[in-house]
Amino acid sequence: MAKPNYSGTYHMVEQENMDSYLGALDVNFALRKIVCLLKPTKEVTHDPATGTMKIRTLTTFKNFNMDFTIGKEFTEDLGPVDGRVCQTTVDWDGDKLVCVQRGEKEGRGWTHWLEGDKLHLEMRVQGIKAKQVFKKAN
C-alpha cells in the first residue's frame, strides 16, 4: 500500500501542553513563554519514491530545518530547540511518521500523521506529551 505524501504548507491551529514539554527539555521559563505564543508554519517537501523529506518549521522568532531520509539514522542538531544533538531515525508506522531521538533525554521523539487537511504532531519526552495541529494551506 502506498504511503501518504506529506508535502504541503501547514499553519498551526491548535496546541496543547507545550509549556510542560519544553520544561522537560530544560528550556528556560522566558523562552518557553515566547515559544508558546508562536504560531508556526510547516513547509513539508516529501518524495515518497525516495523517502526523502524536508520539514521547515517557520516562526517570527526562530526557524528550524530538518532534512532526512525515512528509515535512515542521522545526527540531528537540535540547537535551535534545546541545544542538544541526537541520533535520530524517522520511520513509518502504518501511515504515521514516527521519530525516535536518542540522546540525553529519555523517550524523546514525535509522531506526525494526516487526517484530511490537517497535519497532527505529537511530541514526547520523559513521559510528557505535547500536541500541535496544523491546517493545510490552499
Domains in the chain, start-ordered, CATH in brackets? 6-134 (2.40.128.20)
Q: How far apart are CA 59 and CA 77, in angstroms?
A: 18
Q: How far apart are CA 78 and CA 29, in angstroms?
A: 18
Which cell numbers in the block locate residue 98?
514516527
The pLDDT score that the predictor gives to residue 1 is 65
Quick one: CA torsion of 112, 100, 95, 130, rounded to 10 degrees? -30
Contacts 24+ apart (CB under 8 A), 87-91: 90/53
Which cell numbers in the block locate residue 6?
506529506
Distance of CA 39 to the CA centre of its chain: 14
The pLDDT score that the predictor gives to residue 81 is 74
pLDDT by residue for the chain (138 residues), tens only, comes to 678 999 999 999 999 999 999 999 999 999 899 989 999 999 999 999 999 999 999 998 888 899 999 999 999 988 767 788 999 999 999 999 999 999 989 999 999 999 999 999 999 999 999 999 999 997
